Structure 1
Amino acid sequence: MAMVRVYPTTTLPRFASTLSLRKTKFMVKSSNLQLQMQSNDSHKLVLEVKEKLEKEYHSLPFGRNGRDDEDMILWFLKDRKFDVEEAVSKLTKAIKWRQDFEVSNLTEESVEDVAQTGKAYIHDFLDINDRPVLVVVAAKHFPKVHDPADDERLCVFLIEKALSKLPTGKEEILGIFDLRGFGTENADFKYLTFLFEVFYYYYPKRLSQVLFVDAPFVFKQFWRLVKPLLKSYASQVRFCSAETVRKEYFTEETLPPNLRD
């Protein structure tokens, strides 16, 4: 009679566990390898754009935010879904704009007069998602009183300041428009369009979300005219109350001062 060897019941589970562990390790290694390959491919495209800019647009400035800034090149490649030609086209326009607008020359002192109105500022604290916060107090904006060029310089300076506050690993900022007290004298079609166009063309995918806080009826009428011009950024707008901002975006200690009441 043939003998039948009976294995302990723990053998199969141990064997299955070993297979599972090996499979997990293999998946982790495969994932890491895939990320490394993607990173290598991205770097090759960065170098391709960099070389193209050097050959065809050598008159553009170089250095930080210039034609050889690899971080900036990578960001525009991501925005253009790694299409080299489209990235080059959008990037050259952005670099030229920065040069013409003299972005590198903007300082606290250069925008001091318009900043003192309190119409816009960068909040001292991040929101609960670790995003720098750009706050606009619409009731303090009077387009017939202030020079539009000063308002535009303040806008760009504050965007730059917000981006400089990005924590490691974070890439986007939050915009808050406090619309309490907004009236027809505060409506500024040109300025709002400028703001969104700057983000779309020169700071792509840097604006995570825009909160329109306690918008009165008169603003909603104004928004209907502006919205079609804002392309994909219009979908990032959320109309909400000051109470919602307090509860969902900040702690009691980190709430922007103008939203405390």
Structure 2
Amino acid sequence: MPDWIQIVIRAFSLLIILFFMTKWLGTKQLSQLNIFEYISGVVLGGIVAIHVSTLDSPIYFALIAMFIWFMITYLVELLSLKSKSFRNFAQGKGTVVIQNGKIMEDNLKKEHFSTDDLLESLREKNIFKVADVEFALLEPTGKLSVLPKKENQPLTSKDLNIKLAPEREPQTVIMDGKVLLEPLANLSLNTNWLETELDKLNVSIENVFLGQVDTHGQLTVDLYDDKIAVPSPTQKPLLLATMKKCQADLELFALATENTQSKQLYEKNSKKLQEALNIVEPYLK
């Protein structure tokens, strides 16, 4: 067998094995590498690279080396889950670099983190003044976690005592012109409902690049043709406007009638509808 064919076979086979090993070790490696995970990636990649190009070495040497290192990494991860002290040793732990608004210079030097590195990491958090920071922690992955001072934190609805409706993640029900049945089922909806909503928008499924349904059951679509404008969903604003009109009509009827019993009935139902509006208005805005 020619050498180049052996290299191709080795490269593909070892790459596939490395791919599955990485998946078995967990996706955390893909998002944030600590010290040991970084070493593991370098070593496993080095084993593959060496044995792909070294044809004098049997391929099972590579498999043995990869398996041994895989087991070491797996056992380290397992022990890290069970022991906090071992996890701190193997993966490292966070270092406080700003506390009570004061930079901890000794901790910066210990982590070989310069002032420029600190300022750069703060700018990535949209913080340009160290004086605006109450607390900052350098994570084992090298990322900086920042807690701004209270007066520099953005306002939330809780701070303003505003009640907002709970919201779930939107479900993608159309992708690349094809209906996705599982997300529809998660929303307790079906294809008949989807077709009805698309008819309201005057579009067909085949013309939809992406379609999503929010927590309130409203469908929004993005079409392949960017020149076609799709109307925004109007169900919630229309329902809110209708309820407000009904409440205003009841108040008007109460003022217009001279019958005491009818006036009391209109006023009573107007108050009930206003109470209902106060409850549902956050959900319909």
TM category, shorter: under 0.3
Asked which structure has the greater RCO (Cα within 8 Å, sep 6+), the reply is: 1
Q: TM-score, normalised by structure 1?
A: 0.22
Q: TM-score, normalised by structure 2?
A: 0.20
Larger Rg computed on CA atoms: 2
